[in-house]
Structure 1
Amino acid sequence: MTATESLQRGQYMGYDISFHPVDMRVVRERVTPFLAGLGRDDDLDDLIAAAVRQAKVRFRANAWGLGVRKASADTDFDTFFYIWGRPFFVTAEEPAAVAETVVRYCDAGVDEVDDLARGQIALLDPTLVKHVEPDSNGTLPDDEHLAIGFRWKLDLLRGAARAVRAGRSTIANGDGDEIFAAGALTGNAQFVLMEFLSALLPGWIERGRVWPSELSERATTDGYAPLGDNRPLLGVLPTEFPSLEWESNWTIHNNYMIGGYAAPSDIRPMRNWLSHNIDALTAVGDQWDDRPYVRKALRKLDESLALAELTGAGFVEAAEIYIPMQGTMN
């Protein structure tokens, strides 16, 4: 069993893609120092609490989206946009309005979700509001178990970092197996980081070969490279552990992978590039040569970039952060 296999489940033939705003201040100042074994073990408790709150907000918002699906079964309600696409439940049209609504959900308490969701239903169809009830199927774990789910990988990699500092080659992975400490840290840091950050600032879900670095490679565009190497996501880790081999990538070429990165200062140029090259990017299609599908994916991409721009975040593309078929949602 490799270090990566100890933290991730299986491999897929397809790709569950996501587009992520990423708060680089939190990367540099909070999460990667924690992964490096610095500070105290409770240093991320406030972020864990925020992730637990937001998980409950997300669950309630998704229940409203599923309720709309039931109430509008004979209409053109696009589930792969409003439920398994955008975060929470958002029906606004313009990217700026979508981004602002996502921030409102991110900042909301669970008792505020119903009003937010009803407002989004009204934007979709004012006559539908009185006919929709949130879907009551499914339950969330309690707060304690949610918190454990958010932090166990962080704690495992923190333990790996401390083992490396102490000169120990292996650590227990929690299942009774020993794994290589250095490999666990270098092989999983970016993915574990993005899993956690996506619980605080969500991404958009897509499927297929529609991530921006892939499309830009296959399309004839204006020559601008929208994404670069994702090494900045490693934060302080290479400095704290200079003798370890830290991998980075500029695209996605496997499942369970973090792809290309754009710094906060590159978000506006990337949005401009996207709008200027929308037809060329759509024309390359995806593995099914479905151009309308790609155009919708690019709309989701621009909305995620709008959220990055609004919040001063960077951007990263990823595979298998969310797996809707397994219930991992945004």
Structure 2
Amino acid sequence: MGYDISFHPIDVRLAEERITPFLAGRGSDDDLDDLVADAVRQAKVRFRANAWGLGTSKVVDRADFDTSLYIWGRPFFVTAESPAAVAETVLRYTRADTDTVDELARTQLAQLDRALLDRVEPDPSGTLPADEHLATGFRWKLDLLRAAAVAVRAGRPTVRNGDDELAAADVLTGNAQFCTVEFLAALLPGWIDRGRVWPTELAENAATDGYAPLGGNDPLLGVLATEFPTLTWESNWTIPTNYAVGGYTAPTEVRPLRDWLARNAEPLAAVGDQWNDRAPVRRTLRKIDEALALAESTGTAFVEAAEIYIPIQGTIN
């Protein structure tokens, strides 16, 4: 199986203060309702912005419109050039709604070519689920992990998921970091790529000037490790398999990681995709740096992950 990779600015403070306490069973079941509502709003903005990107791809020649960057790369529909401008545009989208997203998308279209304003229409294909179904999609895993935590705390070995009885401790320890990143990505999106092209994989196979500022992802566990000290919690420093979270960079190390990537761009690009032996991954390095630029501008952390987004299944950023 291949890898659908993503690069994420991660609001680790939100994880520490709200997400992991919820997963640990603290507070009430509706404590994340406001965040879920925000995720629903952004899903509708994302769907409309992506429709503009798809509509543009039908009009513009592929040589002038890099779909791997503008559609299957950056979040929403962004055509800005500099990492700072890309990050600022993504933030504008995260604050938009269905009444303002079209104008924002049209400004991106004009940056590409003003002549396209009279030629491009949003691609009407696809249907977005109703708000309540979107909300369920965003929260059902979090609710399951919360139920698993309650079961563990009460000494019950299993938790019910539909018709299945699952080992409660395994549900919690095997999914906490992935589900946390998946939910946070609905509030602050990541960048998409494909193949063995995540930062720690490239770094491990390149002759660089030292170690990249990426380490274990245990900070994503927040309060869980201390509230359930008898459970065995994993901390990955790279992506070990599909559907996993890999290396993590704290907010204070985001700038050093950007500098390290810039200094080592040549050896990293020369590595290429170790899975498919493809061409150098310069576009990948651009995506990573843009995601880091957003993390730097928002004071958030950075993490690499696999299968947060699965474009072939319609799960995109």
Task: Establish whether TM, by shorter chain, passes 0.5.
Answer: yes
Offset, 1:75? 4.6
Q: How does 1:1-330 map to 2 (within 5 A)?
A: 13-73=1-61, 75-174=63-162, 176-287=163-274, 288-292=276-280, 294-330=281-317
SS of the aligned residue for 1:111 comes to coil
SS of the aligned residue for 1:140 comes to coil
Give the letter for the 1:71 counterpart: V
Deviates more, 1:162-171 or 1:73-82: 73-82
Work out the CA distance in 2 between the residues paired with 1:41 and 1:283: 49
Runs of 4 or more consecutive aligned structure 1 residues displaced over 4 Å after TM superposition: none
Offset, 1:224? 2.8
| Alignment deviations for residues 70-121 of structure 1 (CA, whole Å, 9 cap, x no partner) | 1114652111110011000000000000000000000111111101000001
Give the letter for the 1:321 counterpart: I
Whether the 8 Å contact between 1:54 and 1:199 is mirrored in structure 2 is yes
| Alignment deviations for residues 122-156 of structure 1 (CA, whole Å, 9 cap, x no partner) | 11111111111001111111111110110110000
Work out the CA distance in 1 between the residues paired with 2:184 and 2:51: 23
Work out the CA distance in 2 between the residues paired with 1:168 and 1:139: 41
Work out the CA distance in 2 between the residues paired with 1:295 and 1:75: 17
| Alignment deviations for residues 201-246 of structure 1 (CA, whole Å, 9 cap, x no partner) | 0000000011000111110111133210000000000011001111
Q: Aligned Cα RMSD in Å? A: 0.9
Work out the CA distance in 2 between the residues paired with 1:211 and 1:220: 16
Work out the CA distance in 1 between the residues paired with 2:208 and 2:165: 48
Work out the CA distance in 1 between the residues paired with 2:279 and 2:205: 14
| Alignment deviations for residues 295-320 of structure 1 (CA, whole Å, 9 cap, x no partner) | 10000000000000000000000000
Work out the CA distance in 2 between the residues paired with 1:81 and 1:178: 42
Deviates more, 1:121-130 or 1:281-290: 281-290
Work out the CA distance in 1 between the residues paired with 2:243 and 2:159: 22
Work out the CA distance in 2 between the residues paired with 1:74 and 1:249: 38
User: 1:160 and 1:74, CA in 2 relative to 1: closer, same or farther beyond 3 A?
Assistant: closer
Work out the CA distance in 2 between the residues paired with 1:284 and 1:148: 41
Work out the CA distance in 2 between the residues paired with 1:106 and 1:231: 27
| Alignment deviations for residues 150-185 of structure 1 (CA, whole Å, 9 cap, x no partner) | 0110000000000011110001112x0100001100
TM-score computed with the length of structure 2 as normaliser: 0.98
TM-score computed with the length of structure 1 as normaliser: 0.94
Whether the 8 Å contact between 1:66 and 1:134 is mirrored in structure 2 is yes
Count of equivalent residues: 316
Give the letter for the 1:69 counterpart: S
| Alignment deviations for residues 19-38 of structure 1 (CA, whole Å, 9 cap, x no partner) | 00000111100000000000
Whether the 8 Å contact between 1:213 and 1:226 is mirrored in structure 2 is no
Work out the CA distance in 2 between the residues paired with 1:132 and 1:89: 13
Work out the CA distance in 1 between the residues paired with 2:144 and 2:298: 30
| Alignment deviations for residues 224-283 of structure 1 (CA, whole Å, 9 cap, x no partner) | 332100000000000110011111100012100100000000000000000000001011
| Alignment deviations for residues 17-61 of structure 1 (CA, whole Å, 9 cap, x no partner) | 000000011110000000000011111000000000000000000
For residue 6 of structure 1, what is the aligned residue in structure 2? none
Work out the CA distance in 2 between the residues paired with 1:302 and 1:74: 23
Give the letter for the 1:269 counterpart: P
Structure 2: segments with no counterpart, 5+ residues: none
Identity rate, percent: 71
Work out the CA distance in 2 between the residues paired with 1:89 and 1:324: 15
